[in-house]
Amino acid sequence: MNSVNFKEKLKDIKCFVFDVDGVLTNGMLHVTNDGMLLRAMNIKDGYALQLAVKKGYRVVIISGGKDEGVVIRLKNLGITDIYVGIGNKLQQLLAVMQEHHLTSAQLLYMGDDMPDVEAMKNCSIATCPYDAAPQIRDICHYISPIKGGDGCARDVIEQVLTLNNDWE
């Protein structure tokens, strides 16, 4: 897809859908002595996520992981649509679309690996971090120049909000 079509489609986006591990985090897990798994999230992504919510965009998190710390962090940013431990991301996405009366033309999805493929194909704009799996990069309309966990979510949010005069 050429960049003009991509930019034109960004104006229709009303909902951002993000995976967590490999998108909002760098995909690394730090394991403590008692078996706890720790993830790091980027403060720049956090700023963009909370601003999108404040500006009236829906932000949806669909993750296969189940980390309660991640859920708390995302809730603190104002995100209410947080789905963790999800095996079928497409099924969850379709339920969210129905519940909130969203069309695929209004959705931008950022994922990084195989569990995201089918859901990404159901969105107007499929995006990924720079270091996403090759199969994901192949189906994306936009590949962020930024790696997962380093601000790639901010990259796409800032583009949409800027086009709609919602970026501060």
Give tens-digit pLDDT for 126-151: 999 999 999 999 999 999 999 999 99
Give tens-digit pLDDT for 49-84: 999 999 999 999 999 998 899 999 999 999 999 999
Q: What does the pLDDT read at residue 4?
A: 54
Percentage of the chain surpassing pLDDT 90? 88
* Rounded-to-integer distance, Cα 132 and Cα 148, Å: 8
Q: How confident is residue 8, by pLDDT bands cut at 50, 70 and 90?
A: confident
**DSSP reduced 3-state for 75:** helix
DSSP 60: E
Q: What does the pLDDT read at residue 123?
A: 96
pTM for the full model?
Answer: 0.95
Architecture of the domain made up of 3-163: 3-Layer(aba) Sandwich (3.40)
Most confident of 1-5, 39-43, 96-100: 96-100
Task: Give residue for tokens 């069309």.
Answer: 103
Scanning the chain, the segments in alpha helix (DSSP H) are: 3-10, 43-54, 68-76, 89-100, 117-121, 134-139, 152-163
| Nearest CA-CA partner of 23 in 86, 88, 111 | 111
* Maximum Cα interatomic distance, the chain, rounded to a whole number of Å: 50
- pLDDT score of 86 more than 80: yes
For 87, phi then psi, to 5°, come to: -85, -35
- pLDDT score of 3 more than 80: no
Rounded to an integer, the average pLDDT of 97-102 is 98
Q: How confident is residue 93, by pLDDT bands cut at 50, 70 and 90?
A: very high
- Find the angle CA(72)-CA(81)-CA(94) to the nearest 5 degrees: 145
